[in-house]
Chain A
Amino acid sequence: MGNFDAFEQGLASPNGNGRLPNGHGCPKDSPSVDNQLKFSAPAYTEIRTRRCNAKAAAESKNASSSTYHPERKVLLNGHAAAAREHKSECKPNQAEGKLSPEMEHYQKTSFEEVPMHTACLTYLGFYLLMILGYINQLLFVPKVATEKGREGYVALYDAFESFYSRYVYRRIKDCWNRPICSVPGDELTLKDRVTDDYGWSFKFTGTETRCLNLGSYNYLGFAAATGRCADESEERARDAGLAYCSSRCELGNNAQLEELEKLTARYFGVEDAIVFGMGFATNALNLPSLLGPNCMVVSDEKNHASIILGLRLSGATIKVFKHNNMRDLERVLRDGICYGNTKNGGKPWSKVMIIVEGIFSMEGSIVRLPEVVALKKKYKAYLYLDEAHSVGAMGSHGRGVTDYYKVDPKDVDILMGTFTKSFGSAGGYLAGSKKLIDFLRTNSHAHCYAGSISPPIAQQILTSMKTIMGEDGTETGRNKIMQLARNTRYFRRRLAQLGVITYGHEDSPVVPMLVYLFSKIGAVVRTLTTRHIAVVGAGFPATPIMEGRIRFCLSAAHTKEQLDYALEVIDETSDDLGLKYSRKPRDPNPIEY
């Protein structure tokens, strides 16, 4: 098991040429030599000329060279479709007033249902895993599970509760938490590890694999160790140190953070903003300040755990509506408001708040913002929009879903987001009216008790935000947004053409590809790693049991050649593993970039 040559080679080749030791279970295909070459720009173009020659004839050559020009007029949906004007492929959209928001959403989103035999096989696969796990649990006690020196004490772990993590998750545990040793930009370097005892422990082999990175939340490509953001952050770290170690209300406040807040407010076009050191905590600790026991919250089915935790801490009454379903939302709002607070004898609620996310990162779907805003106004509720994944990634100016749908940001009462994904930094923000932010400055636990954002991190946010807004004087921000939009459209269309099922809206840079069976998640992740692509898989219980998926996160840093390479590999892998479930008609024409 594993590749013993790697052990003997030791620390020989740091760039993983030819030896690919991974966790057990990776298929022993012998990829052709050109696949194992290092991945810098020359290798990509080389692969392109050799393998894509057949496709090059189909691809119109002018598509990649002349259409991409930053000064070209951009259509409202945020991508340079200028090249397509002559083909009149521009779909009518809501922002142009040609199509109602409902129809547009319906047209652009797809959540194809699983074929019945696959669903059955998934269940049977789980049964088998469970049965084997039970037998395993009865017969063998793993050495990590025996507790020494604890006679007379209650066991630390209940055998039933740790069943899943020990007997199901452990088998493909090598696909998660993989250590890397480079900055996770468009490519990353994985440290290879092997497991001798079937997933209980891992050992590093000493070699590394350079992979194309399709798993990091790096939408605008700011995750880089070089470049202007990195230089300015480094300077700032030298000037101001690494952390203030104090809350904003005491010693942790400084001019840079005030500047950051003003810049954030200007970025969104609202009155004021407040920033926090941690994105998860922004949700979890501010929702209790905003909501209390006599409030009703209507939250989407697939909201993030930070929102759910914040809501539970606040003590408000939570009502869940079906994911992105406007009729269900209306029904829940109506019932809630008509019947009042049932725990209080039917008195009216003091606040009704709708909580949705901009892009739902497990589904790849985008919230139907114009309709939610219309409902909010009709029923006089507040709207809290969590733009963790959509700020920077959506909209023609990178301002998020409000920009994408051309909705006035002042219509959304509370805009929340994180700096982790598109800005390449860490932390979260809340933006809205001055009254709201003033309230939060005194009443928010995350502001008064938690430490402030560290100076180099804040500098990274400042630099990247100015770049996106174009205030640094270059066109880099604009280019990045364009590039991301083109990558998204291209990748999603090519995947649909291959015939795999992907979920979500066609403009969201998060692309979940469905593999359904639990073991296929492991197979795909391992196979793609041997082919030098790093992806993230997600299965039960993070997703519904039927829908195991591989989630691709596209980035503006990806070039077309990298995407083409990835798509080829995905094509071959899905042929081998049988992932082409889609029953929709496939577009026979070659897709232009």
Chain B
Amino acid sequence: MTSIAGGHGEPNPNSSWLSARGFWLAYFLGLLSIHLILLSVPFVSISWAWTATNLIHNARSLFAQAHLYFLHIIKGAPWLSIENDPSRRWTHWEQIDDGIQMTTTRKFLTAVPIVLFLLTCLYTRNSTEHFIANFVSLVVVTLPKLPQFHGVRLFNINKY
């Protein structure tokens, strides 16, 4: 499918679509809209702080799930790859910018969960159970983004 119209397009568009113009804004808007939707679910409106807590927490861990799943678990690309190139066995995170570490996109995507975590701690007022849950999900999501973990598969999970 990368050879639509006679062969245009780069060999792996998955590597660069995240760095196109407008992605950051769209990402924030998407995140914000999920947050607002969760905020407007009626049965959790007991108190404002508790609401914001749980919802950001849910959004956070729900989002960590989304983050985790799309970036780190799924390998290859969602269009038929006719070529036998290494990106078939790489997760999307590893494919960004064809494997170059510490580019702007990667820094942005690493920073977002961290900022979100800090905001969550702020709103939950550091209560213990929320903190533990958020911290665990933060670690799970940030570890694969470190440059040392490029291509590493712990315990052979997800190797092929």
Contacts and interface: CB of A to CB of B under 8 A. Distances in A.
Query: Does A associate with B in a complex?
Result: yes
Interface of A: 113-114, 116, 118-120, 122-124, 127, 157-158, 160-165, 169, 176, 280, 301-302, 304-306, 308, 361-362, 536, 538, 540-546
Contact of A546 (B2, B21, B74): B21
B22 A161 contact: no
B78 A163 contact: yes
A224 B19 CA distance: 44
Interface of B: 1-11, 13, 16-17, 20-23, 25-27, 29-30, 74, 76-81
A563 to B, nearest CB: 23
22 contacts: A116-B25, A119-B23, A120-B22, A123-B22, A123-B23, A123-B27, A124-B26, A127-B26, A157-B80, A160-B76, A160-B78, A164-B79, A164-B80, A304-B7, A305-B2, A540-B13, A540-B17, A541-B2, A541-B13, A542-B2, A544-B16, A546-B22
A164 B8 contact: no
A308 B11 CA distance: 9
A546 B8 CA distance: 15
Contacts of A536: 5
A536 B11 CA distance: 22
A165 B79 contact: yes
Given A120-B29, A305-B7, A542-B5, 7 more contacts: A118-B22, A119-B23, A119-B25, A123-B23, A161-B78, A542-B9, A544-B16
B8 A362 contact: yes
B13 A544 contact: yes
A158 B29 CA distance: 31
A120 B30 CA distance: 10
B95 to A, nearest CB: 13
A305 B8 CA distance: 6
A541 B4 contact: yes
A124 B23 CA distance: 9
Contacts of A542: 2, 4-5, 8-9
A155 to B, nearest CB: 13
Contact of A176 (B4, B20, B78): B4
B1 to A, nearest CB: 5
B1 A541 contact: yes
B26 A120 contact: yes
Contacts of A158: 76
A176 B6 CA distance: 12
Contacts of A113: 21
Contact of B74 (A120, A123, A160, A540): A160
A72 B42 CA distance: 79
Contact of B26 (A123, A280, A362, A541): A123
A284 to B, nearest CB: 10
Contacts of A301: 10
Contact of B22 (A119, A164, A302, A362): A119
B13 A165 contact: no
A472 to B, nearest CB: 31
